[in-house]
Structure 1
Amino acid sequence: MNAPVTLPDAGPVSVSRVQAWVFRAPIDTPVRTSFGVMTDRPAVLVRVEDPDGAFGWGEIWCNFPTCGAEHRARLVDSVLAPRLVGRSFTSPDQAYARLAGETHTLVLQTREYGPVAQALAGVDLALWDLAARRRRVPLWQLLGADRQRVPVYASGINPELAGERVAECRAAGYRAFKIKVGFDAAADLSVARAAADDLGDGEQLMLDANQAWDRDTALDMVRHLPHERLEWLEEPMPVDSPAADWTTLARASPVALAGGENLADAPGFDQSIELGALSVLQPDLCKWGGITGCYTVARRARGAGRRYCPHYLGGGIGLIASAHLLAAAGGDGLLEVDSNPNPLRRTLAQPYPAVSDGGMTLSGDPGLGVEPDLETAARWQVLHTDRHR
């Protein structure tokens, strides 16, 4: 049975204004996964403001489907903002619980589980940022962290030219790398072996199959992967595969299994932690839970001896929020930093913290310590909504 987790006391929050922005930045090289391709880089930001003019920023996961970003922003404006503006809450987590409760029947009626949860996660991030800014402390400190620096890894590396991309990431300060697999078994094994052979002292390698294999394929793959040099194998099977299949694979695999970005609620994470098949838990705080939900998951995962490594693939605000939570979670987890070109990563999180010697040092300024450069990002803006009293 999972022990209760007490969230840090963030203090009360009030909301007088809620805004959302959608950005779409063009890219030259599409980002490939086993289930789809990203032909541009979208981002949805949320800004909440209180009656005193204090504010906080959040971000909503919106990578798929292609039309998803605009829809999530409109969910914020039409569903969540009317339930926030003009109200006060004892804490960000109370606001999260109230909004989740008030939208529960709507979610059941529409089956919009994912989009509403993602919009709520972004709002939650913004409220925690607001609370930390009001207290004039960095979010990592409000969350109880005793460190500002977190280890990072370069992710999203496509198998084509993986060697070149790893070399580029190494030169950029990374010491750990994650390569996409799940396309073709022979090609997957070839790229994994080549990358493993190329690792330097102290470097780490991970693979991400993005739910591409069934149980039997996964069992065959783990027998042939260069497991001596792999930190983990991520999402080898669909997240809804039977628990017995996950247990069978975990027992057979010499490589630690990782996952969590596609678990959709607190019971799902609790069940996964209890099952024990995943050695590495990877909730995405822009996809579900925000700080409120993922802080609890991180604490429970660490308490059960699991490694907490937040999943992330988006713009700069969500990335920095993930880093703050990782700092508070402790342990030897790594922050996922997408290695693919994306101008929204730096532009939406200024001043952007540099990566050096395998780590990133967070700001000591209040809240997230970063803000989006909306003037520069205006060229990519496709939608803006605004609700206020």
Structure 2
Amino acid sequence: MTGLIADRIVVRILTAPLVEPIPMSFARLTSRRMCLVEVHADGKIGVGESWINYPEWAPAERTATILDGVAPLVLGTDVTDPAAVLERMTATLAGVGRQWGARGPIWQAMSAIDLALWDLRGRIAGMPVGALLGDARAAAPVYASGIGPTRVEELSELAASRGITAVKAKVGFGDEVDRATIAAIRRSAPALRIFADANCAWSHPEAERQARILVDEGVEWLEEPFESQDRAALARLHEATGIALAAGENTYGIDDLTALAAVPGVAHIQPDPAKSGGITTAAVLAGVLDGACRVSPHWYAGAIGLRASLAIATAFEHAGWIELDVRDNALRDGLVTEGFALDDEGSMLASRVAGLVADLDAERVAYHQIAETSRSAA
């Protein structure tokens, strides 16, 4: 592919209010939100997504970070190679994120650009991003997330009816609620495998106590029992309880992700494509792992990031699971015309759309859009 010079970056904020807020151990999700980012280059457009579920003011912060912080490093430059662009952005902004005490917003902004550039690359090549990366698997096994602490039986039954074989229970709401969630899954869909996600809710001693209970309940792995950066504590938790661990959605950059994947007991490393460094970082990570720890991308937002997760999970033989939130999501289900098809075994079929979202529904984007801001090359 010949050089492409970026001349405009557009940030669109989309929203879809929730009738029933979704509880987490740390907050409530009151609306579905998407930060959609377009990179325009020589008459062509690539589309990415930055994670903005939290906080409520994330759309304003992310728009400023992308247009005032990231865009000047991208506009007027060759964006043919996403890895080279990510390296250039990281060299300038990683230190800013550390000094700010907010690595997340910086990495999440850079991740959106990376996704957009992979989308652009795939569109130009006329190939899905998964095929560009490796095209190793025709489908990736799905676990249903968003299960608990509300609507547990309904959502478990829905997952089972779609052929999905595993669910991830939200825990961290106290013993009584957590035990009720697991029991309701067992009661409504006894064949389902169960994973659990505490969203960093517990102290280290509490995590050990809770992990022992989950092991007794047959839960196969535990995600983010506490701050996932504490690698030594994760190793001690696994050694003490034997539970397999999953972590990585709040880890930024290849060095920290690789170190986390090497922790004894971490069976699934979970880079989030719109948070952790885009497709570029996840692909490098998958390439350096030996299969003992699986790359199972985290995703709990819109259509673009889910396509990116799918591309990662189907490109590498030793990738693991893909996460599918089974609650309704207007910024996922209706935003791409080809959708997200599952096969008879509950696995998500690899996308055959050029790029990531060449099938993005412009009318649906316009319907949900509440803001648009852009910056052009000087």
TM-score normalised by L of structure 2: 0.92
- Cα displacement (A) at 1:199: 4.1
Partner amino acid for 1:81? A
Q: 1:167 aligns with which of 157, 160, 170?
A: 157
What residue number does 1:287 align with? 275
What residue number does 2:63 align with? 73
2:195 equivalent to 1:206: yes
Question: Within 1, Cα distance between the matches of 2:232 and 2:355?
Answer: 43
What residue number does 1:223 align with? 212
Matches within 5 A, 1:118-267: 118-196=108-186, 198-201=188-191, 203-227=192-216, 229-241=218-230, 243-267=231-255
Q: CA 1:217–1:154 in 2, change beyond 3 Å: closer, same or farther?
A: same
Larger mean Cα displacement after TM superposition, 11-20 or 86-95? 11-20
What residue number does 1:7 align with? none
Q: CA 1:348–1:77 in 2, change beyond 3 Å: closer, same or farther?
A: farther
Larger mean Cα displacement after TM superposition, 189-198 or 172-181? 189-198
What residue number does 1:325 align with? 312
2:362 equivalent to 1:362: no
TM-score normalised by L of structure 1: 0.90
Larger mean Cα displacement after TM superposition, 107-116 or 157-166? 107-116
Question: Within 2, Cα distance between the matches of 1:258 and 1:213?
Answer: 15
Q: CA 1:230–1:112 in 2, change beyond 3 Å: closer, same or farther?
A: closer
Q: CA deviation digits over 1:206-263, x for unaligned, max 9?
A: 111111111211111222225573231111122244x432222101224311111111
Larger mean Cα displacement after TM superposition, 177-186 or 100-109? 100-109
Partner-residue secondary structure (3-state), 1:322: helix
2:97 equivalent to 1:117: no
Larger mean Cα displacement after TM superposition, 168-177 or 289-298? 168-177
- Cα displacement (A) at 1:264: 2.4
Question: Within 1, Cα distance between the matches of 2:84 and 2:140?
Answer: 28
- Cα displacement (A) at 1:169: 2.2
* Kept in 1: contact 2:353–2:359 (CA 8 A): no
Q: Sequence identity, in percent?
A: 33
* Kept in 1: contact 2:97–2:104 (CA 8 A): no
Question: Within 1, Cα distance between the matches of 2:95 and 2:176?
Answer: 47
Question: Within 2, Cα distance between the matches of 1:256 and 1:200?
Answer: 21
**What is the CA RMSD across the aligned residues, in angstroms?**
2.1
Question: Within 1, Cα distance between the matches of 2:111 and 2:144?
Answer: 24
Q: CA 1:13–1:151 in 2, change beyond 3 Å: closer, same or farther?
A: farther
Question: Within 2, Cα distance between the matches of 1:11 and 1:215?
Answer: 52
* Kept in 2: contact 1:43–1:344 (CA 8 A): yes
Question: Within 1, Cα distance between the matches of 2:25 and 2:341?
Answer: 30
Q: CA deviation digits over 1:335-362, x for unaligned, max 9?
A: 1011222200123333212234312223
* Kept in 2: contact 1:353–1:360 (CA 8 A): yes
Q: CA 1:73–1:187 in 2, change beyond 3 Å: closer, same or farther?
A: same
Unaligned runs of 5+ in 1: 1-9
Partner amino acid for 1:328? A
Partner amino acid for 1:386? S
Larger mean Cα displacement after TM superposition, 360-369 or 157-166? 360-369
Q: CA 1:370–1:227 in 2, change beyond 3 Å: closer, same or farther?
A: farther
- Cα displacement (A) at 1:325: 0.8
What residue number does 2:90 align with? 100
Partner-residue secondary structure (3-state), 2:220: strand
Partner amino acid for 1:36? A
2:325 equivalent to 1:335: no
Q: 2:37 aligns with which of 40, 46, 49?
A: 46
Partner-residue secondary structure (3-state), 2:274: coil
* Kept in 1: contact 2:137–2:316 (CA 8 A): no
Larger mean Cα displacement after TM superposition, 221-230 or 83-92? 221-230
What residue number does 1:4 align with? none
